Amino acid sequence: MDEKKTDICEEFCFDRSSVNYVQERMLDEKELELMTEIFKALGDRTRSKILHALAQKELCVCDLSVALNMSTSAVSHQLRILKGARLVKYRREGKNIYYSMDDEHITLLFQQALEHVRHN
């Protein structure tokens, strides 16, 4: 008899203590929404390229545009999304706007994802 192997339990059962443990530690709705927004923003190839560039060095929109071979308006559009998700921050210096990663958590998150990709 040739049985198909599946990736789910063959019979439904659960460990009440494990379920309770996880349920007590579930994210609240606000945290879940914010995390979802972060991962949505990260889920775009262009935005990942921008974040990779900013993980190297603070850059102005013009620098990013040249480095990534994109129009300034396209870069600016993606930066608005990243800023809305609190992944990047900016500062004004004269007539230029310089962008960087929002904080060390975002830099670590990006580096961890890159490390995962490179080692798997």
14-44 pLDDT, tens digit per residue, is: 899 999 999 999 999 999 999 999 999 999 9
Which sequence spans correspond to the domains of the chain?
Answer: 28-119
Q: What is the mean pLDDT of residues 64-74?
A: 96
Query: Hey, what amino acid is at 75?
Result: V
| pLDDT at residue 1, rounded to an integer | 47
| Dihedral sign (CA 42, 48, 52, 57) | negative
Band (pLDDT 50/70/90 cuts) for residue 9 is confident
**What confidence tens digit (pLDDT) does each residue in 72-119 have?**
999 999 999 999 999 999 999 999 999 999 999 999 998 898 899 999
Which segments of 1-120 are extended strands (E)? 59-60, 88-93, 96-101
Q: Which CATH number fits domain 28-119: 1.10.357.10, 1.10.10.10, 3.40.190.10, 1.20.1630.10?
A: 1.10.10.10
Q: Measure the CA–CA gap between 82 and 88, rounded to whole angstroms.
A: 6
Q: What is the mean pLDDT of residues 40-63?
A: 94
Q: Measure the CA–CA gap between 23 and 18, rounded to whole angstroms.
A: 9
Q: What is the mean pLDDT of residues 45-60?
A: 95
